[in-house]
Amino acid sequence: MSDLAPSAATAGQRILLVEDSDVVRMLTVEVLEELDYSVTEAAEAQQALQVLRSDEPIDLLMTDIGLPGMSGQELAVAARQLRPELKVLFASGYAESVEIDKSEPANHTAIIGKPFSLDALRDKVQSMLGN
118-129 helix and 22-34 helix, angle to the nearest 10 degrees: 60
Write down the pTM of the prediction. 0.86
Pair 13, 37: CB distance under 8 Å: yes
* pLDDT tens by residue, 66-104: 999 999 999 999 999 999 999 999 998 765 555 555 555
Rg, the chain, Cα only: 13
Mean pLDDT value of segment 110-115 = 90
Confidence of residue 130 (pLDDT cuts 50, 70, 90): confident
Sheet strands (E) in 72-122: 87-92, 109-113
| pLDDT at residue 57 tops 60 | yes
Across the chain, what does the average pLDDT equal?
A: 86
Q: Which residue has the higher pLDDT, 3 or 12?
A: 12
Query: What is the set of domains in the chain, with CATH numbers?
Result: 14-116 (3.40.50.2300)
